[in-house]
């Protein structure tokens, strides 16, 4: 990773985050290169979601700095997209209306909005459901809309906050495979918050294990599985070893 992409896409330097008197994150130093897929794992309350929101510019840092592609997070919104827990769709908008929302907010012409949104919905296999309302979709389909919506602006950094936590295992596995296909195509840098060691191993180049009270980086585990991963990857011994290693790391950090 180092060498070709020597300037990191996301740079976290001595990031400290306090809410009132409580220190939530302490001295976070981490760089992510272009195209790297990073998972953030750790016990509840370790501040992984907070860290994600700092990168997004939704929370200001208390000390240190977060730099996205050379910019302050708030100025780098054009390059970032956030995928939330649950799908976070507007219930009064149809699938297409939800997918084109980011383009609408940025004032794109209608033809461009519809063309891009339709293309992204096609990419997540939802072209048959563009006219449906969110309540008419399954949980997995809602999440697909959310992914399509995030992709409409061709982000260079994708931030995902436990996006598949509420889904059943099969739906989650399918979405993970699809996510990797899209990643191979677009090569964005990803920060993926999850509770699942298996999911983190399957998706990531690197897994950042956070410890709690205060939240800090305990360990960075590099996943040296082949770049191209599919359902069979989950059956390989290397994969299973990594899952065991990460589970152990999450359980024993302090």
Q: Write out the two tokens for 4.
A: 């070709």
Q: Write out the two tokens for 151.
A: 């992709």
Question: Can you tell me the distance from the alpha carbon of 21 to that of 15, in angstroms, rounded to the nearest whole number?
Answer: 16
Which residue lies nearer to other proteins by CB, 133 or 218? 133
Dihedral angle sign, alpha carbons of residues 30, 196, 87, 154: positive
Range in contact with other proteins (rule: CB under 8 A) among 2-10, 79-87, 210-218, 239-247: 79-87
Which residue lies nearer to other proteins by CB, 9 or 103? 103
Which residue lies nearer to other proteins by CB, 36 or 100? 100
Q: Most distant CA pair in the chain: distance in Å?
A: 53
* Contact indicator for 212, 182 with CB cutoff of 8 Å: no
Range in contact with other proteins (rule: CB under 8 A) among 20-28, 64-72, 136-144, 175-183: 136-144
Question: Can you tell me the distance from the alpha carbon of 199 to that of 172, in angstroms, rounded to the nearest whole number?
Answer: 9
**Binding to other proteins by residue 220, rule CB under 8 A?**
no
Rounded least distance, CB 2 to other proteins, Å? 30
**Binding to other proteins by residue 214, rule CB under 8 A?**
no
- At what angle are helices 169-186 and 139-151 packed, to 10 degrees? 10
Binders in 85-124 for other proteins, by CB under 8 A: 85-86, 88, 90-92, 101-102, 104-106
* Contact indicator for 233, 225 with CB cutoff of 8 Å: yes
**Binding to other proteins by residue 58, rule CB under 8 A?**
yes
Rounded least distance, CB 185 to other proteins, Å? 22
Q: Which residues of this chain interact with other proteins, rule CB under 8 A?
A: 53, 56, 58, 77-78, 80-82, 84-86, 88, 90-92, 101-102, 104-106, 133-138
């Amino acid at each position: 990773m180092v060498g070709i992409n020597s300037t990191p896409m996301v740079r976290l330097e001595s990031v400290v985050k306090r809410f009132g008197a409580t220190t939530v994150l302490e001295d976070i130093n981490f760089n992510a290169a272009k195209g790297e897929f990073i998972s953030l794992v750790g016990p509840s309350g370790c501040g992984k979601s907070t860290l994600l929101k700092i990168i997004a510019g939704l929370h200001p840092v208390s000390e240190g700095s977060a730099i996205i592609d050379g910019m302050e997070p708030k100025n780098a919104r054009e390059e970032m997209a956030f995928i939330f827990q649950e799908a976070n769709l507007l219930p009064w908008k149809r699938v297409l209306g939800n997918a084109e929302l980011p383009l609408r907010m940025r004032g794109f012409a209608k033809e461009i909005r519809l063309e891009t949104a339709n293309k992204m919905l096609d990419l997540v296999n939802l072209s048959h459901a563009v006219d449906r309302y969110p309540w008419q979709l399954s949980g997995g389909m809602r999440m697909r809309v959310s992914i399509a919506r995030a992709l409409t602006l061709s982000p260079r950094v994708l931030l995902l906050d436990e996006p598949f936590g509420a889904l059943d295992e099969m739906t989650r596995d399918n979405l993970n495979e699809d996510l990797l296909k899209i990643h191979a195509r677009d090569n964005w840098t990803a920060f993926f918050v999850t509770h699942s060691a298996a999911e983190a191993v399957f998706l990531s180049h690197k897994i950042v294990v956070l410890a709690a009270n205060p939240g800090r980086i305990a360990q960075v585990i590099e996943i040296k599985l082949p770049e191209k991963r599919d359902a069979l990857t989950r059956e390989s011994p290397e994969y299973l070893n990594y899952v065991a290693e990460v589970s152990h790391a999450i359980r024993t950090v302090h």
